[in-house]
Amino acid sequence: MTKRQLEESACLVFARLARAMARSYIRAMEGFDHRPDHRPDHRPEVAEKRRALMRARILEATARAFTGRVSATPGIEDIARAADISRGTFYRYFESLDEAVVAAGIAVSDELMIGILPFYDFLKEPWQRFSVGFRLYLVRSLEDPKRTEFLIRMDVWPHGSLVDKYMSADLQKGLDEGQFEIDNVEAATDFLKGASAGTIQAVRRGVAEPERYIDAAVGMGLRSLGCDVEACRKGVQFSRAHVAQLPARRPFSET
């Protein structure tokens, strides 16, 4: 091959390489905004985070405003003051005091439930899940009297909370597997939420032997689900031994 042919061949190779690079560049730049001031717009994400933080702040203030009071019910002004916000800011998030109270009730109840999930949700048998979950919710509530005072005082055990979701699922599974005998899962869930609230109130007021009182509540809970005496005894013992191994929870007043 002559020198001229070699030069022509080299030029052809470089030309093909240049065309390939140009095509790659064009593909890479498709849809790219070439304006000098173009930057990813994170403002919607930042705004959503700020809104979530403010909402949580108002809910926390709502729960705090209702605890430690013996007479007058707090108003929106009290909650706004506790959250260090204006009344107008409150109304940007909630239409009424009742709406904020219900939302705060769900938030407090869900926080308690989230706290017990790591110690309960790995259990497989419905009778184990119910007995441990029921006892843990009682114990954790009693360890956190400030939050529990809000739930009990306002009678906030709302539908749509995590305790509703998990308890209903456990009861349905127990029914499907023949471990429980109940006519209506929703009615049973509401009944047991009421039983847990009553037990918490009684222990907070003072009972002679709180541990035995909670044992009895767990046993009666299982009996209400159609478990026989032996299954109730097993559930009480299993849940007591399981919960006794767990660390205490840091109370609301220290957070």
71-129 pLDDT tens trace: 567 889 999 998 999 999 999 999 999 899 888 888 888 888 888 888 889 999 999 99
Residues 59-82 have a mean pLDDT of 81
pLDDT band at 205 (very low <50, low <70, confident <90, very high): confident
pLDDT at 16: 52
Instruction: Say which range, 10-14, 155-159, 219-223, has the weakest mean pLDDT.
Output: 10-14
Instruction: Say which range, 145-154, 174-183, 213-222, has the weakest mean pLDDT.
Output: 145-154
Evaluate if residue 221 carries a pLDDT over 50: yes
Place of tokens 């899940």: 129
Higher pLDDT: 207 or 253? It is 207
Tell me: the pLDDT tens digits for 7-34? 445 444 444 544 554 454 445 445 545 4
pLDDT band at 134 (very low <50, low <70, confident <90, very high): very high
Higher pLDDT: 185 or 255? It is 185
pLDDT at 68: 63
pLDDT at 241: 94
Mean pLDDT of the chain: 80
pLDDT at 66: 80
pLDDT at 49: 86
pLDDT at 70: 54
pLDDT at 148: 74
